[in-house]
Structure 1
Amino acid sequence: MPERVDIVNFGAGPSALPTSILEEAAKGLLNYRNTGIGLTELSHRSKEFGTLTKHLESLIREQLEVPSNYHIAFTQGGGSGQFSAVVLNLLARHRLLNPNVTDEERVMDYVVTGSWSKKASEEAKRLGGGKVNVVVDGRTYSKTGKAFDNIPPHDKWAFSPKPAFVYYCENETVDGVQFSHEEGSAQAFPFHLTDPSVPIVADYSSSFMSRPIPRLKDHALIYAGAQKNIGPSGLTILIIRDDLLVDTDAAAKLGAAPVPITLVYKTLADSGSLYNTPPMFPMYVSELVLERMKNSGGLQRLEEANRRKATLLYDTLDEAEKKGLVKVKVQPGSKSWMNATFELVGEGAEQKFLEGAEAKGFKQLKGHR
């Protein structure tokens, strides 16, 4: 049986975690910081867990340079839960600001660049309360006309005049497509084309804390599932600008859909993420990971390390493609630092590759289908 040191885990999420972090977390399961009680046995309203929650928030706020007019909240439900929560909270806000606008006139703008933003737009359509405008669909500009393999040219984007919000996914895990974080890049998110008064919502689940977030202050809401980079599954992190913390019950009286209390952003913020029992163990592991990150040089150092890894990997894949061994799926400029997608050329080549990788201790390389 292989030992942990013999394995290289390529899982896209739940992702690999440092062995030292898991060993420390295991101690906390038995005796959390000399309380004599395991973390998962502590009350979420205890002084000790309150301290953990505040420290986790401060680690995120400091390393991402989150301004004081944003709340950082911790909840459950993952990205899929936020597909619903975003619609319900942002439409409630829009209803309060525009009580005379009809549902037929109310618009939600979705930028569709991969499987996850597509699912988010489909959930918005399912919930209703407004129309969904697909600002741009990456498949239209793909090599095949069917795949998500690019960030489309900015001149092809069609924003609505006054949408309730604009939504995009910064990194598409399944498709390997990511927005550039270089200012002025043709593959960067075009903030210059948006109305500053319209809230911008970003799903950062699969790239959160891998590099700084460009123009964070231009976002109204950023959310991320922890399991891609910083902890176990079960924790969702929200960075919410204060103007999104609205009275959803008041909006419901004006005709908006009622919002389940645990999905209300104002409830999460007002309670300090402790309205109900939060995902305590994932929060603990995330705290350990982010403390380690801070002590190792922070996001800037991690960004440079990730840049070097991505460059090395894609240079290798490009050489292999020239030799006819692989087919890189994503167009230049749109390739993800987090999830490289490629196909092996030749009958049986992929299976042979996976079997060879498995024999060398490379686990979870097989991609989505």
Structure 2
Amino acid sequence: MSKKVYNFNAGPSALPKSVLETAQKELVNFEDSGMSVMELSHRSKTYDSVHQEAKQLLTKLLNIPDNYQILFLQGGASLQFSMIPMNLLKEGQKASYLMSGSWSEKAFKEAQLIGEASIAASTKNEQYKSIPSFDSSTIESTDAYVHLTSNNTIYGTQWQSFPDTKDVPLIADMSSDILSRPLDIEKFGLIYAGAQKNLGPSGVTVVIVRKDLLEQENDNIPTILRYQTHAKADSLYHTPPTFAIYMLRNVLRWVQDQGGALAIQEQNEKKANLLYEAIDQSNGFYTGHATKESRSRMNVTFTLPNEDLTKAFLNEAADKGFVGLGGHRSVGGCRASIYNAVPVEACTALRTFMEEFQQTHS
């Protein structure tokens, strides 16, 4: 019998149990091919059906219009920090970055190496407790793009609505909250997301890019770093991460079976409310890092009255099967990452533990 754990890891993170069981069942003989999906040629018809279904499901679940291209890339979201300015930031243009945490800082730093980039808004001076307010009138029509990180795993904040950047493309790193809610894709010029939180295991990065941006991209960069290269080859310019894309497809099937993005959003709200209520009703025993209007439905971050209690909380939680509740090393405290595949049952159990721990240690 397998050990009972509640997986709150920030990434790689929980995957739906049924998805794992399907992968286990098909691992050594995929669709009667006599081979694992990991052994199939990426040019074979058997693998191509997986590749195309993954794109079709993503298109359906996010309602992606025809004038957008889906790419399956490698290098994680971190490579996109460089690829975006390399492809889209031209000489004489400026890229604007909205700073809401460590990942937007890293994206901004990479853009500065490529061309002119500026900080349009930031909440760093308040330790990233909220999403920055942004005045779109500060954007010039000639700007290359505006970049934001939609969910901030370390600080537990999330954009609840997205700014109108008019004719300037809005680019979003959605690695930690893609497919956690319905999206108006047409608000964005480009969306990118590492898969290892809501879409599947690590190894594949999804890029959703408007086709007119592909036509405008720079051409004086290495071939493999050009979006157009991968768009023309249907993400098969070189060997793609086939197993990660297979798992992505299976997760997308699972999301469809749950009722799609709206049903997933309802579940995520229910899970987040369970934990935020425990924090808000604790009379200060638990303190949330994020301001209420900026709270993430993906990462619930909180602290206890002192370091000794925090250590005791994490040790007792681990003994009871709660995995991954330690806060990021840069901020400390605690963090419950409650991505799509984390069941309501896990959040209910964590809330009960939080209440019992408070009663015992108050």
Alignment TM-score, normalising by the size of structure 2? 0.87
- Report the Cα distance in structure 1 between the residues aligned to 2:221 and 2:152, rounded to whole angstroms: 28
Query: Where does residue 190 of structure 1 map in the other structure?
Result: 163
What is the CA-CA distance between 1:162 and the residue it aligns to? 2.4
Question: Contact 1:231 / 1:286 at 8 angstroms: preserved in 2?
Answer: yes
Query: Where does residue 330 of structure 1 map in the other structure?
Result: 290
Q: Which runs of 5+ in 1 are unaligned?
A: 96-102, 181-187, 253-257
Query: Where does residue 23 of structure 1 map in the other structure?
Result: 21
Question: Contact 1:57 / 1:72 at 8 angstroms: preserved in 2?
Answer: yes
SS of corresponding position for 1:124: helix
What is the CA-CA distance between 1:315 and the residue it aligns to? 1.2
Amino acid aligned to 2:182: P
Question: Contact 2:69 / 2:211 at 8 angstroms: preserved in 1?
Answer: yes
2:132 pairs with 1:132: no
2:8 pairs with 1:3: no
CA offset digits 1:33-62 (Å, max 9, x no partner): 111111111110111111111100000000
Query: Where does residue 339 of structure 1 map in the other structure?
Result: 299
- Report the Cα distance in structure 1 between the residues aligned to 2:52 and 2:248, rounded to whole angstroms: 13
- Report the Cα distance in structure 1 between the residues aligned to 2:250 and 2:154, rounded to whole angstroms: 28
For 1:63-212, what aligned pairs fall within 5 Å after superposition?
A: 63-91=61-89, 95=90, 103=91, 105-126=92-113, 128=114, 130-140=115-125, 142=126, 147-155=127-135, 158-180=138-160, 188-191=161-164, 194-196=165-167, 198-212=168-182
Identity of aligned residues (%): 41
Match of 2:228 among 266, 281, 292: 266
What is the CA-CA distance between 1:155 and the residue it aligns to? 4.8
CA offset digits 1:99-142 (Å, max 9, x no partner): xxxx4x4211111111111110011112x2x31110001123x2
Query: Where does residue 299 of structure 1 map in the other structure?
Result: 261
- Report the Cα distance in structure 2 between the residues aligned to 1:157 and 1:203, rounded to whole angstroms: 22
Match of 1:46 among 22, 32, 44: 44
Q: Which runs of 5+ in 2 are unaligned?
A: 330-362
Match of 1:357 among 288, 295, 317: 317
Question: Contact 1:9 / 1:363 at 8 angstroms: preserved in 2?
Answer: yes
Amino acid aligned to 2:163: P
- Report the Cα distance in structure 2 between the residues aligned to 1:156 and 1:64, rounded to whole angstroms: 26
What is the CA-CA distance between 1:153 and the residue it aligns to? 2.9
Question: Contact 1:73 / 1:239 at 8 angstroms: preserved in 2?
Answer: yes
SS of corresponding position for 2:316: helix
| Compared CA separation, residues 189 and 338, structure 1 to 2 (3 A) | same
| Compared CA separation, residues 47 and 199, structure 1 to 2 (3 A) | same
What is the CA-CA distance between 1:160 and the residue it aligns to? 4.0
Amino acid aligned to 1:124: A
SS of corresponding position for 1:43: coil
2:175 pairs with 1:234: no
Alignment TM-score, normalising by the size of structure 1? 0.85
CA offset digits 1:189-244 (Å, max 9, x no partner): 221xx232x1111111000111112x310211011111011211011001111012
- Report the Cα distance in structure 2 between the residues aligned to 1:225 and 1:156, rounded to whole angstroms: 28
Q: Which runs of 4+ in 1 moved over 6 A?
A: none
- Matched positions, count: 329
RMSD: 1.7
Amino acid aligned to 1:135: A
What is the CA-CA distance between 1:174 and the residue it aligns to? 1.2
Match of 2:191 among 222, 246, 249: 222
SS of corresponding position for 2:129: coil
Amino acid aligned to 1:125: Q
- Report the Cα distance in structure 2 between the residues aligned to 1:245 and 1:119, rounded to whole angstroms: 24
Amino acid aligned to 1:136: A
| Compared CA separation, residues 269 and 161, structure 1 to 2 (3 A) | closer
- Report the Cα distance in structure 2 between the residues aligned to 1:294 and 1:30, rounded to whole angstroms: 26
What is the CA-CA distance between 1:156 and the residue it aligns to? 9.3
